[in-house]
A = this chain, B = another copy of it.
Amino acid sequence: MLRLYDYLPSGNGYKIRLALARLALPYELVEVDIHKAETRTPEFLRRNPIGRVPVLELEDGTPLAESNAILWYLAEDTTLAPRGRLARAETLRWMFFEQYCHEPNIAVARFWKHYVPELSPLQKLDLPERMKKGYAALDVMERALARPFLVDGRFGVADISLYAYTHVAEEGGFELGRYPAIRAWLGRVAAEPGHVTIDQRPASARRAS
């Protein structure tokens, strides 16, 4: 069985849980507490040398890391995969945008506001910059979402990738009220069959030993 090492509030991990649920793939969830440095143990670093969740362990024990690379792996030959060379490039464009322009601002602001007891002087000075860049990323999405989904009018891995942290952006202090197209898209994604929420723990869940 597939095994997912993950931390429930992580949007990067949620991408994988959402794809697995949509594809009806059974898996074991092993919950890792990132606040107790459980991703920095020698055992975990053998799975992912950068010490981050999610990691998906394949049936033969091969560990896959980087949420968007795992998404790509899971989507191959399924309805979640882009069809055609140009759609693949467009999908990857959104996924690299997610990791470069969106996650480092929206996810990081959310993490600092919710999970860090006291910000460092650097974080305090940096937060307004991250908010500004996070809003710029949302502006780009708002204009793109005149269409129903991000690529080719079909729900796919680009949508899963960007849904993960966009749908909790308000936890980072981002007001989504000013983004009607994004809010309509969030609703369309959540209405897709097989949807699960970020805090939904599958029956297979256990704590890392």
Query: B-contacting residues of A (Cβ < 8 Å)?
Result: 49-50, 62, 64-70, 72-73, 76, 85-86, 88-90, 92-93, 95-97, 99-101, 103-104, 121-122, 125-126, 129, 136, 140, 143-144
Contacts and interface: CB of A to CB of B under 8 A. Distances in A.
Contact of A140 (B49, B95, B144): B49
A204 B75 CA distance: 39
Contacts of A69: 89-90, 92-93, 95-96
Given A69-B89, A100-B100, A104-B104, 13 more contacts: A50-B97, A65-B93, A66-B93, A66-B97, A66-B100, A67-B96, A69-B96, A72-B88, A73-B86, A76-B85, A76-B88, A122-B126, A126-B126
A122 B50 CA distance: 25
B92 A140 contact: no
Contacts of A64: 89, 93
A191 to B, nearest CB: 27
15 contacts: A49-B144, A50-B101, A64-B89, A66-B92, A69-B90, A69-B92, A72-B89, A73-B85, A73-B88, A76-B85, A96-B96, A121-B125, A122-B122, A122-B129, A125-B125
